[in-house]
Amino acid sequence: QSALTQPPSASGSPGQSVTISCTGTSSDVGGYNFVSWYQQHPGKAPQLIIYDVNKRPSGVPDRFSGSKSGNTASLTVSGLQVDDEADYYCASHAGNNKRVFGTGTMVTVL
């Protein structure tokens, strides 16, 4: 199972928006509406920020939003804040009860 493809980095100034793509295949992203996104600050465990393509767990600000079209999912962070600087990973169900993660994107707040 190959990792989903994400851009290595993305950046934006405070208050701006940044969008991260996550490209898979019809066997994972394109085949299921089970895409989730995780935020990971340095030295910390990942934290779920989006599930079921576009749903936010309790406590996650609505500045985080998700979408999907075909084999590509996207995460948009609006109104960038300094604390949004972190690594972001997508993940998808990949059939046979397996999961696959994305390659990860480092977001920098300029």
Residues that bind another protein (CB under 8 A): 1, 3, 32-34, 36, 38, 40, 44-48, 51-52, 55, 57, 89, 91-93, 96-104
List the structure tokens of 78. 């609006």
Closest to another protein by CB, 3 vs 72, is 3
Q: How far is the CB of 33 from another protein (least distance, A)?
A: 7
Q: How far apart are CA 46 and CA 89, in angstroms?
A: 9
Q: How far is the CB of 36 from another protein (least distance, A)?
A: 4
Residues 87, 91, 7, 16, CA torsion sign: negative
Q: Assign 94 to helix, strand or coil.
A: coil
Distances (CA, A) of 70 to 30, 32, 35, 53: 5, 10, 12, 12
Q: How far is the CB of 14 from another protein (least distance, A)?
A: 26
Closest to another protein by CB, 15 vs 24, is 24
Closest to another protein by CB, 3 vs 85, is 3
